[in-house]
Amino acid sequence: MIERYTTKEMGRIWSDENRFATWLKVELAVTEVLCQDKIVPKEDLKVIKQKAKFSVKRILEIEEETHHDVIAFLTNLSENIGPEARFIHLGMTSSDLLDTSLALQCKESGSIILSKLHIFHKTLRNLAIKHKNTFQIGRSHGVHAEPITFGLKLALWSEEIKRHIERFSNALEDIQYGKISGAVGTYQHLDPSVEERACYNLGLKPASVSNQVVQRDHHANFLSSIALIGCTIEKIAIEIRHLQRTEVLEAEEFFAKGQKGSSAMPHKRNPIITERLTGFARLLRSNAMAAMENVALWHERDISHSSVERIIIPDSTNLMDYMLIKVNKLFKHLIIYPDNMLKNLNLTNGLIFSQEVLLSLVQKGITREDAYQLVQKNAMQVWEQNKDFKTLLKSDKDILNLLSVKEIDSLFDLNKVLVNINKVFERLELS
């Protein structure tokens, strides 16, 4: 994580201070269960709780010598607790501590992401309702197709975010597994009930079976879900970037007072937020791929995943939090130009109603092929000679043999598009 893109909430969760605090929380949870089982004397547990303090600086000093962060942590605890520290980490292996603690950090960071997903979903829904009747040209292959509304575009995005809420909720549930099963997952030194009770007290579920680690498909699923959210944010960001192009200018990022767009060109208002979001989405996909590579470990475990996860999990959760803050703010302050949308919609002199004409001709009894040929003949004149489509149709004898002037006029009614868009909004409970 770099400070520039690190949120305060996520920065705290993945800080060294909180990492060691979470480790201590896990160690104490296990020690308390062992006390219940009369393995750890009550008076010793009391001392442990009173004296269990750590120093990040001291842990890092010890690690310089031991080259083992868990041992450094336990050594520092022992320095502060005294002889009673012999009951800390009893029967556990490093991964019991690390994986259970990581689950707690993922749970906390994931909950923050989920709450911001809900906020963004609400923002999009509210904007969709506001712009349900804001006409805009729909584009396929980047070329004008048929009329839509900006609200329909927003509704589509809101539904996609809704699906992400469901997917990520499942992934967040799936990451909340701890393990206290020992060096190779056999519970040789601690009964499975210790794991069950300790995990329960920590707000986690015990892994149904493990080796030295919680299996990494859980983590791959978690980061893949985050990466998918990033894909949607990128899709939205790219659309806004396209709409902000000078020759389009249907929507634009808010440009704050005092903001600068270019060091060389004072006139520039660049889509810097959406471009940044696009870049971050690439990182999230890369991190998800790395998480998938971490699934296959040697035998009961190696540590090839460990160094990778120290980077990709904090970075992915932090970036997603940052992205959701930025994209929600983007839409809260998005500048929308309905007049430009309408102007662009009319750029092709009525061609966007070609399918209306085609279908009307078919309904008059001619073949689709013949109808297509009649419409396309006139449409190509519009493209090549910049003529008005409706005017051409009204002067085409073959067309007039099938459609009256009044019928032709009725085919160019923009409001027709709203009839079924309203039905879509009803289906989405957007009102």
The predicted-structure confidence for 219-252, as pLDDT tens digits, reads as follows 999 999 999 999 999 999 999 999 999 999 999 9
**pLDDT greater than 90 at residue 259:** no
Domain ranges of the chain: 1-90, 93-342, 351-411
Q: Count Cβ atoms within 10 A of the Cβ of residue 92 and give its class: 0-12 exposed, 13-18 middle, 19 or more buried.
A: buried
Q: Of 67, 140, 141, 299, which residue is the catalytic one? A: 141
Active site annotation includes 404? no
SS3 211: coil
Written out in words, the top-level CATH class of the domain with range 1-90 is: mainly alpha
Which contacts of 277-280 are long-range, i.e. CB under 8 A and separated by 24 or more positions?
A: 277/233, 277/234, 277/237, 277/323, 277/326, 277/327, 278/234, 278/237, 278/238, 278/241, 280/5, 280/230, 280/319, 280/322, 280/323
Per-residue pLDDT tens digits for 86-142:
999 999 999 999 999 999 999 999 999 999 999 999 999 999 999 999 999 999 999
- Domains 93-342 and 351-411 alike in fold: no
**pLDDT greater than 80 at residue 264:** no
pTM: 0.94
State how far the alpha carbon of 2 is from the alpha carbons of 116, 188, 227, 310, in Å: 21, 42, 19, 14
Per-residue pLDDT tens digits for 46-71:
999 999 999 999 999 999 999 999 99
3.30.470.10, 1.10.150.20, 1.20.58.340, 1.20.200.10: CATH of 93-342:
1.20.200.10
Per-residue pLDDT tens digits for 276-329:
999 999 999 999 999 999 999 999 999 999 999 999 999 999 999 999 999 999
CA atoms within 13 A on the CB side of 187: 14
**pLDDT greater than 90 at residue 257:** no
**pLDDT greater than 90 at residue 265:** no
Active site annotation includes 141? yes
| Whole-number pLDDT of residue 266 | 80
Q: Of 111, 115, 193, 262, which residue is the catalytic one? A: 262
Superfamily of domain 351-411: Fumarase/aspartase (C-terminal domain) (1.10.40.30)
